Amino acid sequence: MSTWLLSILIFSPMLGVLVLAFVPSHDEKSIKWLGILGTLFPLGTALITLSAFDMSSDKLQLAETYRWISYEVFQSKGEVSYPIFYEVGVNGLSMVLILLTAVVSVLAAVASFSIKKNWKSYFILFFLLEMGMLGVFAAQNLFLFFIFFEITLIPMFFLIGRWGYVEREKAAYSFLIYNGVGSAILLIAFVSMFMKTGTMNFEKLTETFSLPQEELNAVFITDGYMMGMLIALLIAFAVKLPVVPLHSWMVSVHVQAPPAIVMIHSGILLKIGAYGLITFGAGMFPEEFRSLAFVIGLFGVINLLYGAFLALTQTDVKRVLAYSSVSHMGIVLIGLAALNEAGITGAVFQVVSHGLISALLFFLVGALYERAGTSELNDLGGLAKRMPILAGVLLAGGLASLGLPGMSGFISEFMAFLGLFEKMPILAAVGTLGLILTAVYVLRAVLAITFGTEKEQHETYTDLTSAERVPAFVLLAAIMFIGIYPAWLSDMLRPALDVILLGLGG
């Protein structure tokens, strides 16, 4: 049983698809409840996986390997087999992200109660998306990673294009094309690595690339080639993260997609970019990564400042949050660029923390939009009176976002900057400016919504319903738990991060 555990986890959302297939498409209530149940099953499986996971080990766990496809390549030295395996497994980092995926998916399914039409196809796509995300984090070879990576694209295209707001189709296309460029670069890099080394397995690739240079030259892997591969990977994941100037698609997705999908997108899908940077970038090409550290740090600071400045000037709260995500992803880059324990831990903490915070904020904004029909700051105001709970949670989420101590955002920002100050103090000093800006734009937006003069039409608004309170409180609790007791998370991550740090020579 335990040998199959991870595969069961990855494909567990398909059970929901199966069940939904037999429900009539007009039965709104059953579909929505089945939608939630369908995400609870992966969450349960994820928790079982967690209990089977040995936190102290730095080995790959729950690994499964099956032979899948095999190409026979005719070469001068005879026929050489190029096998592709089905390989899954988890380490601390992927375990954390799988948990995050399972949790945010359940909450997003609850938030999907506001979906107005075609619930059946919505939830089927939703489950496919969840399967893709779980697979991305569990995959242990490039082929499988790429397949799951692409599987997330297609449901997202439909979910944005069919259930989004006014300019949904434009947003869907821009999502598809930008991410298409990213995965195009990714595919070329992956195939090239496969053909050079004959393997796609992460561990074997890392081993191969860390061989002495003379041995590598014999198989045509030069310094320049490794640098080229790293840059290709960096660009591919920079689209996903996103890194300025490749961010415009992400802003339009955040504005146009339905709130539940934005929760998933901002909470998890963007994190695939960070996961890729850590696993492939820093993990496989540590030396090259080291030599590019300054550039990565520079892009991180640019992201942080650019996102913060633009967030400051937006009048639509969705746009404020979208640019805030750009800004916060800069912190991931900053932490990675530091190449030391504090920095990398900070980067991963930021991944998890921002996943929770942005899911919470986008959920609240979705709930707000549901009532007010607008997310313009000018049309909102004084909501604390009519909806104290929504306003309170929004304020708490905002404070977490700006990095208030005691919340998860503080830990990650603090550690990322701690790391960078050690290595590149000047860059880090410039970056701290971003933290101040963050406080300004978050408070500007949150205060404009909750306090200020109340608009007349607000009188009919109701506070969060009990169904809506569940995701809001769960997310807030998770944010505070990590903020108060970060050791839980860092213990789980430590072995995996130690391996990467060892490679980086840190």
Partner 1 sequence: MDLDTLLSYKWGVMAPEFIILGVATLLSVLDLFMKKEASRKPLAWLAGAGIIAALVSVFLQLDQEVTSILYDTYRLDFFSKAFKILLLLGTLLVIVLASSYKKEEIDENRGEFYYLLLAALLGAMMMASSADMITLFVGLELLSLSSYIMAGLERRNKRSNEAAFKYVVSGGIATAITLFGMSYVFGLTGETNLFLIVQNMQDEELLKHGFLLVFAFFITFVGLTFKIAAAPLHMWAPDVYEGAPVPVTAFLSVVSKTAGFVILIRFIIITFISAPAAPNIDGEVMLLQVQPYVMALAAVTMVIGNVTALRQRNIKRMFAYSSIAQAGYLLVPFVSNSSLLFELIWFYLLAYLFMNIGAFTIIQLLTTQAGSNDISVFRGLFKRSPWLALPMTLFLLSLAGIPVTAGFVGKFGIFMGALGLEPAHYWLAAVMMLTTLISYVYYFNVIAVMFFRDDEGRKISVPGGMATVLAFCAASTLILGVMPGLALDFFYGNFDINEFFMRIEEVGTHTH
Query: According to the binding rule CB under 8 A, does residue 362 interact with partner 1?
Result: no
Q: Does 85 participate in binding partner 1 (rule CB under 8 A)? A: no
Q: Taking the complex as a whole, how short is the minimal distance between the CB of residue 150 and partner 1, in angstroms?
A: 4
Whether the bond between 405 and the residue before it is cis, its omega within 30 degrees of 0, is: no
Binders in 416-435 for partner 1, by CB under 8 A: none
Q: Return the number of other C-beta atoms located less than 10 Å from residue 227's C-beta.
A: 16
Per-residue binder mask for partner 1 (CB under 8 A), 313-352, x = binder: ----------------------------------------
Is 162 or 386 the residue whose CB approaches partner 1 more closely?
162
Nearer to partner 1, 40 or 235 (CB): 235
Q: Does 18 bind partner 1 (CB under 8 A)?
A: no
Residue of 184, 211, 429, 477 that binds partner 1 (CB under 8 A): 184
Does 181 bind partner 1 (CB under 8 A)? Our answer is yes
Which of 71-79, 295-303, 401-409, 447-455 is the region at the interface with partner 1 (rule: CB under 8 A)?
71-79
Contact call for residue 473 and partner 1 (CB under 8 A): no
146 or 441: CB nearest partner 1:
146
**440 part of the interface to partner 1, by CB under 8 A:** no
Site for partner 1 in 159-178 (CB under 8 A): 161-162, 169, 172-173, 176-177
Checking phi first, is residue 62 left (phi over 0); if not, alpha (psi -120 to 50) or beta? Answer: left
19 binds partner 1, rule: CB under 8 A:
no
d(CA 284, CA 292): 14
**Of residues 198-227, which lie at the interface with partner 1 (CB under 8 A)?**
220
Burial of 468 from C-beta contacts in 10 A (0-12 / 13-18 / 19+): buried
CB of 254 to partner 1, least distance (A): 20
Instruction: Give Cα 492 distance to the centre of its chain.
Output: 18
Q: In this structure, what are the phi and psi dihedrals at residue 115, rounded to the nearest 5 degrees?
A: -65, 135
- Please tell me whether residue 7 binds partner 1 under the rule CB under 8 A: no
For partner 1 (CB under 8 A), the number of binding residues is 37
Q: Which long-range contacts (CB under 8 A, 24 or more apart) does 163-169 make?
A: 163/115, 163/117, 163/118, 163/122, 163/257, 163/258, 163/261, 164/256, 164/257, 164/258, 164/261, 165/255, 165/256, 165/257, 165/258, 166/256, 167/252, 167/256, 168/256, 168/257
- Name the minimum Å distance from CB 68 to partner 1: 7
**Residue 435 · residue 319 · CB < 8 Å:** no
Q: Which stretch binds partner 1 (CB under 8 A): 72-80, 102-110, 265-273, 421-429?
A: 72-80
3-state SS assignment for residue 121: helix
- Closer Cβ to partner 1, 159 or 499, answer by number: 159
Question: Does residue 255 contact residue 322 with C-beta atoms inside 8 Å?
Answer: yes
Q: Judged by CB under 8 A, does residue 82 bind partner 1? A: yes
370 binds partner 1 (CB under 8 A): no
Distance from C-alpha of 268 to C-alpha of 352, rounded to nearest angstrom: 9
Distance CA 316, CA 239 (A): 24
The one-letter amino acid code at 217 reads N
Distance separating alpha carbons of residues 192 and 229, to the nearest angstrom: 9
Task: Name which of 182 and 267 has its Cβ closer to partner 1.
Answer: 182
| Least distance in angstroms from the C-beta of 386 to partner 1 | 36
Among residues 333, 361, 359, which one has the least CA distance to residue 348? 333
- Site map for partner 1, 116-155, x if CB under 8 A? -----x---------------------x--xx--xx-xx-
Q: How far apart are the C-alpha atoms of 271 and 332, rounded to whole Å?
A: 10
Residues in touch with partner 1 (CB under 8 A): 68-75, 82, 121, 143, 146-147, 150-151, 153-154, 157-158, 161-162, 169, 172-173, 176-177, 180-181, 184-185, 187-188, 191-192, 194-195, 220
